[in-house]
Every structure is written in C-alpha cells, then in structure tokens.
Amino acid sequence: MKTTGRITSTGNQKILDILRLEKRREREQQGLFLVEGYKEARMAFKTGYTVHSIFFCPEIIPSQRIEEMIQLANYSGDIYEVTPEVYARIAYRENSEGVCLLAKTRFESLHQMHLPDNPLLIVLESIEKPGNIGAILRTADAAGVHAVIVCDPRTDIYNPNVVRASRGCLFTVPTIVCSNEEALSFLREKGIYVFAAALPAQKFYHETDFTKPAAIVMGTESEGLSDFWLRKADELIKIPMAGEADSLNVSTSAAIIVYEARRQRGFR
C-alpha cells in the first residue's frame, strides 16, 4: 500500500483543517465530516459515501487492515500515516482503532427514500443533543426501523458526537433532514399513521396498534413536542412512569416504543 505521506506534527495544515470540522459552520461550508473507527470507516465505504482522505496510525492499527479496507472499497485517494500524538489530537474517542477518514456529507430528500409497504419510521423534532440522535440511530438500526426523519434540528447529523454515538449507524439508516411541515406532508401522502409521544397523552404505548404503517414522533426532553405535532398527530401515546420522574431520556423512550412496535409486528 502506497501512502501519500506521514504527518508528525499536530500543527500540520491538514490536521488543522480536520480540527476545524468540529464546528458546524465548517462542516457545512466544506461539505466534509470526520469518520472515526475501523468499523465506522468500513460502513462509510460500504454505503457509498465519497471518501476524501484516510488518516491512520500504524502503531495502533496494522497497515494490512487499512490495505484490506481500501481494496474492498476500490479506494484510490489520499492515505496518510500519522503518529500516535497526531492521531490522539484528531480522534474523539479513546479507543477508535487507529483510523479516521474524511468523507463528503450527503443529504437525501424524503422522496428519495425507498420504503416498504408497511414502514416503521422515527421522527425527531428539534433534538438538541447530538449524542441522543446518534443513540437513536443505533436503536433504529438494531430494531430495523426503515428511516429516521430529523425535523428542524438544533444540531447537524454530521456532528462528531452523532457519528460517534451512532457507531456507524448513521450510514446504515436512511436519515432525512427536513421541516416539520415537509415531514407531515410526506407522511400524509404515504398514508403513514402518526404517533406522537407526549406527556398529555391518555393512551399508553403498549395499548397502541403499531402494526399499520407508522411514524413515532419524539421531541426534546426539556420541551417535548411542539403544538404542531400535538395537534397534527393521529394519536398521542406515553410511557407509564411509576416513580417521581415524569420523563425518560429521549433515546431511551424511542427504544422502548420502537421495540414494542417491532414486537407487535413479530420482529419481521
């Protein structure tokens, strides 16, 4: 495997360019984001993301593994060796297997999604914590959710903490960013029943029929869902709370409700 070069300084311009991508504005302007970890890098290649460059630390990961990955992906772009000190500077995780890559962001529209006849979707409104979005994407992948629609987000889906918390599932779950109005119009057009998780609900989630085409709408922990979804939803649902707390973390709530939906569908 031929490398483009070896980077030994954290002040190298390419490293400084990577560090700038911590800011949303830079990610949006450059159309690039950082993918960290061997599994995540392979997922990005496998799902067709355009890779701009690869950075790996041979003291952490054998170069043979990098060579295997790029051969499978038929990659012919830039590959840089970096020292452990440089890798530690660009990596967000403590144990990310010694490889990062820069990939181009991509955004699909609602109508580019290919949904089955009886889809199960998650809709997220104005979620502000990137770790929650990433965790929900991981749940969506595990549960076989067909897509996640992110409405009016307060963080972008290529935030490093979204990528990290999703453990590569950002690449495996169709993820669409749009407005509330666009999402609702699409769901109505496709005949998808809208369930909104909300404290004012009278019906518990396990009493609900999720066997029909369904979208489960989740809001923020601090504010819940807006009046838009509370008014427009076909049904309001909630999770029973036996203690003093009146709500759960949004990613936990999403997992509970989604797996009930999958249980009702026979995990098919």
pLDDT at 96: 78
pLDDT at 200: 85
pLDDT at 43: 96
| End-to-end CA gap in the chain | 43
Residue among 106, 66, 105, 103 at smallest CA distance from 82 = 66
- One domain for residues 117 and 234: yes
- One domain for residues 161 and 221: yes
- One domain for residues 160 and 245: yes
83 Cβ contact list (under 8 Å, min separation 6):
6, 7, 8, 57, 59
- One domain for residues 132 and 23: no
Total domain count for the chain? 2
Q: What is the enclosing helix (H) or strand (E) of 223? A: none
Rounded CA-CA distance 218/224 in Å is 8
Which residues form the domain of 154? 110-264
- One domain for residues 92 and 208: no
- One domain for residues 131 and 34: no
Rounded CA-CA distance 152/134 in Å is 16
The domain that holds 174 is classified in CATH as 3.40.1280.10
pLDDT at 222: 83
Rounded CA-CA distance 215/33 in Å is 29
Q: Which two tokens stand for residue 101?
A: 């890559």
pLDDT in tens, the chain (268 residues): 889 999 999 999 999 999 999 999 999 999 999 999 999 999 999 999 999 999 999 999 999 999 999 998 999 999 999 999 999 999 988 777 999 999 999 999 999 999 999 999 999 999 999 999 999 999 999 999 999 999 999 999 999 999 999 999 999 999 999 999 999 999 999 999 999 999 888 899 999 999 999 999 999 988 899 999 999 999 999 999 999 888 899 999 999 999 999 999 998 7
Q: Which two tokens stand for residue 188?
A: 């109505």
Residue that finishes a domain, picked among 80, 104, 128: 104
The domain that holds 67 is classified in CATH as 3.30.1330.30
- One domain for residues 120 and 89: no
Residue that finishes a domain, picked among 63, 82, 104: 104
Residue that finishes a domain, picked among 41, 76, 104: 104
- One domain for residues 175 and 239: yes
Torsional sign, CA 148, 70, 91, 27: negative
Residue among 122, 180, 181, 109 at smallest CA distance from 149 = 122
- One domain for residues 53 and 84: yes
CA-to-CA separations, 209 to 86, 239, 259, in angstroms, rounded: 52, 15, 13
Q: What is the pTM of this model?
A: 0.94
Task: Answer for the pair 147, 175: CB distance below 8 angstroms, yes or no.
Answer: yes
Helix 63-73 and helix 38-46, axial crossing angle in degrees, nearest 10: 10
